Amino acid sequence: MKRAQIIFTLLKMITVRVPYDTIINKKFNRMKYLYLILLGLLTFTTATYAKGNHNADQVSMAQQDNITVKGTIVDESGEPLPGATIQQQGTTNGTITDIDGNFSLSVPADATLSISFIGYKSIEVAIDGKTTLGNIALLPDMIGLDQVVVVGYGTQRKVDLTGSVAVVDAEEMKKVSNSNISTMLQGKVSGVQITSDGQPGADPTVRIRGIGSFGSTAPLYVVDGVPMGTTIRDFSPNDIETLQVLKDASAAAIYGSRAANGVVIITTKQGKKNQPMKIDYKGYVGIDQVEEGVYNVMDAYQYSEYINMAFGNSDMDVPAGYNTTSSKYVDPAQVNTDWFEEAFKTGIRQNHNVNISGGGENNTYNIALDYYKQEGTMEGAGPNFERYTARVNNTMDVKFVKIKTNLVYSHSDQDNMALSNANEYVQGLYGAQYPVMASALLTPPSIKAYDESTWVLDDKISSASEYSYDSYGYGTYYDDVHGDLRVTNLLLTNNLLERNTVVDRVVASGSANVDLIDMVGEVNENHKLSYNLNLSYSKTTAKDFTFVPAFIQSTTNYLSKSNEKLTQGYRSFSDALIENTLTYDGTFGRHHVNMLAGQTFQRELFHTLTGTGVNMPEPYFLQVGNAQETSGYTQETEHVLASYIGRVNYNYDDKYLLSATVRRDGSSRLSSDDRWDWFPSVSAGWRIERENFFPVDESIINLLKVRGSYGELGNENIGEYQYMDIMARGDYTYSFNNDKVTGSAISNYVNTAIRWEKKKTVDVGLDLGMFNNQLEFTFDWYKSTSEDLLYSVAVPANAGATNATVTMNAATMENSGLEFLAAYHNRQHAVKFDLSANLSTLSNKVTKLGVSGEPRTDGYSRTEVGREVGSFYGYVYEGIFQSQEEIDTRVNSEGGYINQPGAQPGDVAYADLNNDGEITNEDQTYLGSGLPDINFGFNARAEWNGFDLSISTHGAAGFKAVDFVGVTLSSSYGMLNKTTDLLNAWTPENTNTNVPRVAYKSTGSITNDMFSQRFIQDASYLKIANIELGYNFPDQWFGGYIQNVRMYVSAQNIATITKYEGYNVDFAGGTFTPGYNYASYPTPQTVMFGVHLSF
């Protein structure tokens, strides 16, 4: 079968079927562009193949004169090497050795064999007509010592690095299925914490060495030399060739003001020279399931017991249906809704990737097509996520010029989960309603999931004629028994509410590297001078669509169509970059020098247009222009960053290493007085094992390097125009006639002296390699100080402002910690395996906050000088009052009586910390931190006889968490559903309990639900994140048409060992609320079946 035919056959096998209703919704229009791209790429590839492999017929003719060559591959001691690869050079004809190291291969008599084995140096052997080659010995390779890593505007040998750079094993990443590039780092790099939830398409939170700013803490991503900002969700992980993480200032300083939160450098796959066309297909299908039983919620019978207890303790009549004369809700046979079962379903995810690569003598090409889709685990319209990507990478050598071009297109379509943002709550009958995720657990079991008589149409509506939509039997709940509950039927919210975001992104980049010495005809291997021009342009557009029907957005007359709201938005972002660099690389005896100088210029434009319509005449023509009332909003911003860079690396005799970097940035985000600044760094390393006095043989310790660095980084991710007066247009009331007049006015308090946020970092490290780097250790200690952090400071009342703030450089924060990495590679035996473990500690402290130092409070969290960001702050729990006498006679540490207003037997007792005799706000104190003291990971992979097994784990220790759903379920008051623990609540007959008494509502200012240690959990955990088992079928089974077949089964999010009760112990908290889990979407348990084919 021709290779071009194989391409089309493979694509036919994975063709996405488009249902009729998808075409009706015009989503097919988006897909047709992808197919046009596919067709164009395939045409190009076929033409390239036809042109670049013109000697294929000669190869076929030569096969008539083939001979069978036999031999044995052994190590330096004569032991056989099973699984070694033997390939005819310049072709895909090859084989692997058997368990005894033997091989047999049919090749032309004048062929050359390439022989390779992981952990050994590859060699080439000329046949010269011989049929028996005997034993062929391979010598061990110093694993990783000569590995070249990308460090920003250049490359370095890993052994020469003097900064803290983590190199993620690309081969290991390729063998574990991931849908997001950021999650590939989870548990694999010390000092990197990744938290997320399970919502399809959600971006994980990535923090390198802690929280370095009160703004964005995301690192800078650089893909193929092009800065991509702080998110790369729309790129495919299958495209990655290498990945490095720059953690300290000396490594990241070359990126200056964008590198304060670290840098992740990604290089995508390229073709190989003199390689015939190679086709790879990778695909998997998986099922997602949310774990049930995380919370032990009440069923209808248990809930009725709670209602009787709560109303009885409040001296109130039990609602009809729950008392002994009526069994409507007491009898589970009548109404007993399992809201978890109603809310969740089995999700489906799939990924298909085709990679086509090859090259000639002077050019390479790599074409990648990727499709990913994840249907969420919640019933209804979302959340779902779908992504298409297409990438073309090419290289070409033209005499002394090396040209690279990269073109990538991505299209994503995300259906979001309800309106979960703080300013977009779905409105309940009175005020804000809980997120949909919380409603799945908080809605009482005595309420039906579907009931036309109580959902939407009830006795509060005199007439339903004003409402023409089909109610579906869903709606905001009200009846005579339950009253007005702060809960909306999640089935309504997630079935009928529409919220969709479509993103299209195109990135085009190219570079030309000119060998200036070769250009003038002087070739000198010891001296190289090159000029590099790097250009890129990216365009991102996003379309947002949100429709909130009237029966979701509710008021007292909650079916009024005046509350119906449609929002349509369009956002566009463009980024143009030009970089010019000059690089000199020279060797003078034992001295080696590498110097870089350059200039960069980047310009970004952002435009947004949003339209809002209220009161739609019909639900079938949802356009803002069709609404009765419309409004619009537009915004346009521009950002420019100009920079000059310089770097010098010095190496003496591979023994003494020195590096110095400087970058000068100028940003349009700052005023002309503070626009420019310097960001320098210096680092040094000493390879002790190279010294003559070092007593240990190189075969035992082959690397012992100590290194140290100091550097300064900046942060310009501070938003646009903060140093300027902002004019806002609107209706303003003036003194004349007290009439409103449309006009413009300054809308902010401006600070023209806003400066760069700066981060100063010291790092001391040690790298140890033993037994030819089969055993590796890395140690780092670091301390960073983030200065001049932007922080909102209250404007004094005497300035004429009320509750106004101004942004100032008014905060300082420190982070310090230890990092450790250990790895062992055993690749020289029948069973090959790799083990790695990493551990990092983190200490965070705020040393300055605002002008006055006054603490900042965010719900249960508090940020204050001397503590971690977002520490928990509340009351100290001292047990449960057992009698009125205990309430009346309780004393504090100074012997004074304590007055706790409204306390009754069975209520929670709180400590009087300030000893003033009253329980007040002043008795609150520090209760722990939501930032882990320790993060760790362990990864293992083994291969034997075609089988491979990989295990990935990660965890954290030494931190606290508060789970919003758990806290609400444990509330002592109200009519929402509760955890079954409340059935053991305190009563005069049940005093041996730690659960306080329950009531319909609290009667005093001090309540059982006041925040204390009672609601704080130890969140330390160990998660078994991934187990994957695969099998590589023997190549000869497929007659040479398929070079590699691997099938695997993978399980993700398998089990978590923790005391934490709730979903997502590794949830993504906010900067000021790192330990607060506000009903995050559960990360599902996943089982996937996949295949990898190579042609």
pLDDT (tens digit, 9 = 90+) per residue, 464-508? Answer: 333 333 333 334 444 445 544 555 667 767 776 778 899 999 999
Q: What is the pLDDT of residue 333?
A: 63
State the Cα–Cα distance between residues 1022 and 1014, nearest whole angstrom. 23
**Does the reported pTM lie above 0.95?**
no
CB contact set of 1066 (below 8 Å; sequence gap of 6+): 194, 195, 196, 954, 956, 1021, 1023, 1083
Q: What is the pLDDT of residue 737?
A: 64
As a whole number, mean pLDDT of residues 834-862 equals 95
In order of 157, 196, 397, the CA distances from 359 in angstroms are: 26, 40, 11
As a whole number, mean pLDDT of residues 700-706 equals 96
What strands lie across the sheet with 861-863, from one edge to the other?
856-858, 861-863, 871-874, 925-928
State the Cα–Cα distance between residues 347 and 289, nearest whole angstrom. 6
930 vs 1000, residue with greater confidence = 930
Reported confidence tier of residue 736, pLDDT bands at 50, 70, 90: low
Q: What is the pLDDT of residue 172?
A: 66
Structure tokens at 261: 């939160």
As a whole number, mean pLDDT of residues 856-878 equals 96
Write out pLDDT tens, residues 765-813: 999 999 988 999 999 999 999 999 999 888 776 665 556 788 899 999 9
Among the listed ranges 322-331, 630-639, 795-804, which one has the minimum average pLDDT value? Answer: 322-331
Q: Let me know: does 630 contact 624? Beta carbons within 8 Å.
A: yes
Write out pLDDT tens, residues 58-72: 444 344 478 999 999
829 vs 654, residue with greater confidence = 654
**Burial of 911 from C-beta contacts in 10 A (0-12 / 13-18 / 19+):** middle
326 vs 573, residue with greater confidence = 573
Q: Give the number of other CB atoms < 10 A from CB of residue 375.
A: 20
Answer whether residue 1039 shows pLDDT above 80: no
Q: What is the pLDDT of residue 325?
A: 58
Comparing CA positions, the residue from 463, 492, 500 lying closest to residue 553 is 492
State the Cα–Cα distance between residues 707 and 710, nearest whole angstrom. 11
Q: Let me know: does 201 contact 383? Beta carbons within 8 Å.
A: yes
Spell out the domain ranges in the chain: 3-52, 58-137, 148-268
Answer whether residue 3 shows pLDDT above 70: no
Comparing CA positions, the residue from 231, 198, 210, 424 lying closest to residue 1071 is 210
List the Cα angle 811/814/815 in 5-degree steps: 140
Question: Could you tell me what percent of the chain has a pLDDT over 70?
Answer: 82
Answer whether residue 228 shows pLDDT above 50: yes
Structure tokens at 863: 């940020």
As a whole number, mean pLDDT of residues 542-552 equals 78
Dihedral sign for Cα atoms in the order 14, 20, 21, 24: positive
Answer whether residue 47 shows pLDDT above 50: no
* Matching residue, tokens 């590859």: 122
State the Cα–Cα distance between residues 1034 and 1045, nearest whole angstrom. 8
Residue 327 DSSP symbol: -
Structure tokens at 96: 């692997």
Pairing of strands 401-415, 498-515: antiparallel
Answer whether residue 682 shows pLDDT above 60: yes
As a whole number, mean pLDDT of residues 114-140 equals 85
Answer whether residue 998 shows pLDDT above 90: yes
Structure tokens at 30: 């988006």
Q: What is the pLDDT of residue 423?
A: 31
* Matching residue, tokens 């990478």: 393
Comparing CA positions, the residue from 970, 960, 976, 975 lying closest to residue 995 is 970
Pairing of strands 1076-1077, 1044-1058: unpaired
Residue 3 DSSP symbol: H
Q: What is the pLDDT of residue 20?
A: 33
Q: What is the pLDDT of residue 145?
A: 60
CB contact set of 343 (below 8 Å; sequence gap of 6+): 378, 379, 439, 440, 490, 491
As a whole number, mean pLDDT of residues 837-844 equals 97
**Burial of 667 from C-beta contacts in 10 A (0-12 / 13-18 / 19+):** buried
Question: Could you tell me what percent of the chain has a pLDDT over 90?
Answer: 51
Residue 917 DSSP symbol: S
State the Cα–Cα distance between residues 130 and 516, nearest whole angstrom. 45
Answer whether residue 564 shows pLDDT above 90: no
Residue 1062 DSSP symbol: S
Answer whether residue 16 shows pLDDT above 50: no
Q: Let me know: does 461 contact 346? Beta carbons within 8 Å.
A: no
Three-state secondary structure string covering 349-360 = EEEEEEEEEEEC
As a whole number, mean pLDDT of residues 724-751 equals 68
Q: What is the pLDDT of residue 1002?
A: 81
Reported confidence tier of residue 11, pLDDT bands at 50, 70, 90: very low
Q: Let me know: does 359 contact 1066? Beta carbons within 8 Å.
A: no
Write out pLDDT tens, residues 178-216: 777 777 888 899 999 988 888 888 888 899 999 989 988
Write out pLDDT tens, residues 255-290: 988 888 999 999 999 998 888 899 999 999 999 999
Q: What is the pLDDT of residue 77?
A: 74
Comparing CA positions, the residue from 1082, 1062, 1061 lying closest to residue 378 is 1082
Reported confidence tier of residue 384, pLDDT bands at 50, 70, 90: very high
CB contact set of 58 (below 8 Å; sequence gap of 6+): none
State the Cα–Cα distance between residues 280 and 604, nearest whole angstrom. 36
Q: What is the mean pLDDT of the chain?
A: 83
Write out pLDDT tens, residues 330-356: 665 677 889 899 889 999 999 999 999
How is domain 148-268 classified at the architecture level of CATH?
Answer: Beta Complex (2.170)
- Distant-in-sequence contacts of 111-114, Cβ < 8 A, 24+ apart: 112/88, 113/69, 113/86, 113/87, 113/88, 113/89, 114/85, 114/86, 114/87, 114/88, 114/89
Instruction: Spell out a b/e string for 927-960, using b for 16 or more CB atoms within 10 Å of the CB, else e.
Output: bbbbbbbbbbbbbbbebeeeebebbbbbbbbbbb
List the Cα angle 316/318/320 in 5-degree steps: 140
Comparing CA positions, the residue from 30, 7, 601 lying closest to residue 355 is 7
Q: Give the number of other CB atoms < 10 A from CB of residue 235.
A: 24
Residue 1041 DSSP symbol: T
Q: What is the pLDDT of residue 454?
A: 44
State the Cα–Cα distance between residues 733 and 738, nearest whole angstrom. 6
Answer whether residue 1014 shows pLDDT above 70: yes
Q: What is the pLDDT of residue 76?
A: 76
Q: What is the pLDDT of residue 759?
A: 94
Write out pLDDT tens, residues 413-455: 998 765 443 233 333 322 345 677 788 888 888 877 765 544 4
Write out pLDDT tens, residues 1043-1093: 789 999 999 999 999 999 999 999 888 899 999 998 888 999 999 999 999
State the Cα–Cα distance between residues 136 and 213, nearest whole angstrom. 57
What is the longest distance spanned by two Cα atoms in the chain?
Answer: 107
Answer whether residue 849 shows pLDDT above 70: yes
Question: Which CATH number is correct for 58-137, 1.10.10.60, 2.60.40.4130, 3.40.50.10240, 3.40.50.2300?
Answer: 2.60.40.4130
Q: What is the pLDDT of residue 332?
A: 57
Instruction: Spell out a b/e string for 988-1009, using b for 16 or more CB atoms within 10 Å of the CB, else e.
Output: eeeeeeebbbbbbebeeebbbb
Structure tokens at 864: 């204050």
